[in-house]
Each structure stands twice: as C-alpha cells, then as structure tokens.
Amino acid sequence: MGIEKEIQVPTLVEDFAGALKLYDDGTIIRTEDNLIVNVPPSLQNQDVKSRDVVINKELGIWVRFFLPPRKPTSSKLSLALFFHGGGICFLSPSFLASHSFCQKWASTLGVMIVSVNYRLAPENRLPAAYEDSMAVLQWLFSTSDPWLNDYCDLRNVFLIGESSGGNIIHHLLMRAHACDFFGNIRGAILIQPFFGGKDRTHSENVCPRDVLVNVEACDTFWRFALSFEAHGNRDHPFSNPVMYFPLELSSVIGFPPMLVILGGKDCLRDRGAEYYEAIKVCGKCKNIDFMVFEMEEHGFHLAFNETDLDMQVSNNGRLMREAALFVSSNSL
C-alpha cells in the first residue's frame, strides 16, 4: 500500500466581516459583491455625464469622469481628482455611493471630477495605491483626452479624498512635490482621512464596536494593506506619517491649501486632528483649516437617500457648500 499524503488545509489568517479572507498559504477570497452595489457610467444622464477611461489595463488603473452641465459661454472647469475610501481594501469608482458622491459634488462644485481606481490590498499592498494615484496624476498632465482638452483648466487641479483616499492624498503630495505640475494643484480636501498608530487615541478608545468602521476594522485594514515585513505595525510611515514629522517633510517646499474634514463620532477623529495640527505646526502649509461635524460617524458624507443630499438640512449639504467655497477661493 502507498503512503497516503496528508492534506494540508489552509488556515484562516485574517477575515473582515466574511467579505475578505486571507489564508496562510496566500489564498485570498473576496465575497464583497454580495454587499457592494456597483453602477456603470452614463453619457445619457441629463445632469452629470460620466465615462470610464483605462489608463493601465495590466495594472487595472482606470478613472471615471464626471462632467457637470455647462453653459455654452462658460469658461473651462476646474478639475478635482477623487480618491475613494474603503480601507485600501475595498470599493472602486463604480461603487454606488462613491458614484453618487462624485455626481453630486461635480454638479454642486461646478467642477469636473475624475475618480481614480487604484489597486487594492491585500492582493496589492502599499505602496501600490500610492503609485497608481501618482500614475493617474502624471497622466492628467500628459494625455490628450478630449474631455480634459475641451472642458478643463489644468491650472486648477484639486485633490479630494475620503477615508483611505485622504491617506492617499498625503502620500501623493509627498511624491508629487518635485514635479513641474505641482503648482497646478490648487488645494486638497481630506475627508475623515484614514491614519493609524500603535498607541490608541481617545476617539479610538471610546468608539463603539457596533459601528461599521470601528477600531478592530481599522486594525484589520492595516494588516491587509501594509507589507508582510511591516507585520501590521500601525506606526509605519504609510499609516502614521505624523510620527515621522518634521524629518519626512524636510524636502518639501510647501503644500497647497488644505481642508481637513472630521466626524465627531468617528473613531478616526483624533488621527485627523493630529494630522491637521502637525501640518500646521511644521509650517509647510500656509493655508490649512479643518471642520468637525460633531454628531457624525465615519462616512456621513456618502449619501444613500435624497434626505442625505438635501443641501439645506443635512451636514452633507453643509460640507458641499464649504467645499465649493474652498475650491472657488483657491482657483485662479
């Protein structure tokens, strides 16, 4: 009789809500399609038209354009490069809430929005998302895309990032500061930016466990996103850049104007406030401000119904008004 081989069953290493599982043999299983609704672009929309453009098919880098209605005599539009959230592990520009966000903001702010699809962890750990975002930024200033040529003034480029997208903005600015086009970046809006750290903050300690984005979820995202060599160290420069200030900023001449948006009930509130204070103190950004929406949890800016989008009664509406003022105040 032959010797029977013992079957090795992979061991589950990480699991986020059953939607993303990582096993010790490297196997990754995603089932988030059951939880996430995606929508296609549309050129038929009477308000904001959208279309997708592939930048790097091999890496899966693509963008979704959102073009607001324009009058025939109007001048060219400012452009906002948008980076979605999802803990660097989930979502894309086609995610319903992200798509709706970009539609509403393009219309309200009167700008063209270009939403970035970057590679996700754990299949592609950081700095993949930073590299992809930099590739898109460079593409903007080198492509001959007709919508950019016909409708956009690339002297007025803004960066908008929510959650992990806010984290991406910081690292994108660090990579782009020496580029010729850096002066065309007129401002950055970081909405509830996703930063971390080994030592717990007050907002992390008091965060309820029954909210979607809680401390445990954030820790899991960082273990997925950081390299194996980092061993989930939340004090890594990718997750906790403030820990490396001011040395990390020594080569940076200056940042464009910045607006940091925080939620009072968000477990990431103190991380965002710490980032704001550190940037302000280092003197690299002469125009930085922040707003706190005291009663809001993480992700309040993503509207899921018409009440959320009501400009007069919702904090989402207040946020859009402040963002519109920020863009108009910093445009040429």
Q: Which tens digit of pLDDT belongs to each residue from 56-85? A: 999 999 999 999 998 766 789 999 999 999
Q: 120-134, 144-158, 308-322: lowest mean pLDDT where?
A: 308-322
Task: Please say if the pLDDT value at position 6 is more than 90.
Answer: no
Does residue 313 have a pLDDT over 60? no
Task: Report the share of the chain in percent with pLDDT over 90.
Answer: 83
Q: What is the mean pLDDT of residues 18-42?
A: 90
What pLDDT is stored for residue 312 in this prediction? 46
pLDDT at 317: 84
CA distance 26 to 18: 17
> Exactly one of 132, 266, 270, 308 is catalytic; which is it?
266
Catalytic residue among 164, 171, 301, 308: 301
In Å, the largest CA–CA distance within the chain is 86
Q: Which of 6-10, 100-104, 235-239 has the lowest mean pLDDT?
A: 6-10
| Neighbour-count burial of 9, counting CB atoms closer than 10 A to its CB (0-12 exposed, 13-18 middle, 19+ buried) | exposed
**Catalytic site includes residue 266:** yes
Active site residue 74: no
Q: Which residue out of 115, 163, 164, 203 is catalytically annotated?
A: 163
Percent above pLDDT 70 for the chain: 94
- Does 301 qualify as catalytic in the annotation? yes
Report pLDDT digits (tens) over 218-271: 999 999 999 988 878 999 999 999 999 999 999 999 999 999 999 999 999 999
Token output for 155: 């002297």
Give the pLDDT confidence score for residue 311 in this predicted structure. Answer: 45
Q: Quote the crossing angle between the two packed helices 96-109 and 315-330, to the nearest 10°.
A: 50
Higher pLDDT, residue 231 or 299: 299
Residue 290 has what pLDDT? 94
More confident of the two residues 305 and 186: 186
